[in-house]
Chains A and B, each alone.
Chain A
Amino acid sequence: MSLFSLQDVSYAYPRGDTVLHDVSLSLETGQNLGILGESGSGKSTLLRLMLGLAAPSDGTLSADGTPLDIHSRARMQAHRRFAQPVFQDPYTSLDPRMRIGRALAEPHAALGLPGDAQAEIARVLAAVNLPQDSTLRRPRAFSGGQRQRIAIARALIARPRVLLADEPVSALDLSTRVRVIDLLAELSRDLTLVLVSHDIAIVAALCPRLIVLQHGRVVEAGETRQILRDPQHDYTRMLLSSLPRLPDSKETAR
Chain B
Amino acid sequence: MSLLQVQDLTVSAGARELVHGVSFDLRPGERLGLVGESGSGKSLTAMAIVGLLAPGLTAGGSVLLDGQQMIGRPDRDLVRLRGAVASVVFQDPRSALDPLMRLGDQLAAPIRRRAVREGRALSSAQLRAEQIRWLDRVAIPEPDRILRAWPHEVSGGQRQRIAIAMALACGPRLLIADEPTTALDVSSQAEVLDLLGGLVRDEGLSLLFISHDLPVVARICDRVVVMRQGRAVEEGPTARVFTDPQDPYSQGLVAAARRLQSALENPA
Q: Which residues of A contact B (CB under 8 A)?
A: 32, 38-39, 144, 173-175, 177-178, 181, 185, 198-202, 204-208, 224-225, 228, 238-239, 241-250, 252
Contacting residues, chain A, for B214 (C-beta < 8 A): 174, 246
Contacting residues, chain A, for B253 (C-beta < 8 A): 174-175
A247 in complex: contacting residue of B38, B239, B268, CB < 8 Å: B239
Nearest B residue to A205 via CB reads B263
Residues A201 and B264 in contact, CB atoms below 8 Å apart = yes
Contacting residues, chain B, for A205 (C-beta < 8 A): 260, 263, 267-268
B186 in complex: contacting residue of A32, A38, A181, CB < 8 Å: A38
Query: Within the assembled complex, what's the spacing in Å between the Cα atoms of A199 and B212?
Result: 15
A201 in complex: contacting residue of B216, B219, B263, CB < 8 Å: B263
Would you list 21 pairs from A and B whose C-beta atoms are within 8 A, ordered by A residue?
A38-B186, A38-B187, A174-B257, A178-B259, A198-B185, A199-B186, A200-B264, A204-B267, A207-B267, A207-B268, A208-B268, A239-B186, A242-B186, A243-B190, A244-B218, A244-B219, A246-B242, A246-B261, A247-B238, A249-B244, A249-B254
Residues B258 and A224 in contact, CB atoms below 8 Å apart = no
Contacting residues, chain A, for B261 (C-beta < 8 A): 201, 245-246
Mask: chain B, 123-167; 1 = CB below 8 Å from A; 0 = not: 000000000000000000000000000000000100000000000
Q: Which residues of B contact A (CB under 8 A)?
A: 37-38, 156, 185-187, 189-190, 193, 212-216, 218-219, 238-239, 242-244, 252-254, 256-261, 263-264, 267-268
Residues A173 and B263 in contact, CB atoms below 8 Å apart = no
Query: Within the assembled complex, what's the spacing in Å between the Cα atoms of A228 and B239?
Result: 26
Contacting residues, chain B, for A181 (C-beta < 8 A): 260
Nearest A residue to B35 via CB reads A174
Contacting residues, chain B, for A198 (C-beta < 8 A): 185-186
Residues A244 and B190 in contact, CB atoms below 8 Å apart = yes
Query: Within the assembled complex, what's the spacing in Å between the Cα atoms of A204 and B20?
Result: 39
Query: Within the assembled complex, what's the spacing in Å between the Cα atoms of A144 and B254?
Result: 20
Residues B267 and A228 in contact, CB atoms below 8 Å apart = yes
Query: Within the assembled complex, what's the spacing in Å between the Cα atoms of A242 and B243?
Result: 21
Query: Within the assembled complex, what's the spacing in Å between the Cα atoms of A238 and B193?
Result: 15
Contacting residues, chain B, for A177 (C-beta < 8 A): 256, 260
Contacting residues, chain B, for A243 (C-beta < 8 A): 186, 190, 215, 264
Query: Within the assembled complex, what's the spacing in Å between the Cα atoms of A233 and B215?
Result: 24
Residues B268 and A204 in contact, CB atoms below 8 Å apart = yes
Query: Within the assembled complex, what's the spacing in Å between the Cα atoms of A247 and B216?
Result: 11
Taking the closest CB of chain B, its distance from the CB of A141, in whole angstroms, is 16
B193 in complex: contacting residue of A244, A248, A249, A252, CB < 8 Å: A244
Nearest A residue to B220 via CB reads A244
Residues B260 and A249 in contact, CB atoms below 8 Å apart = no
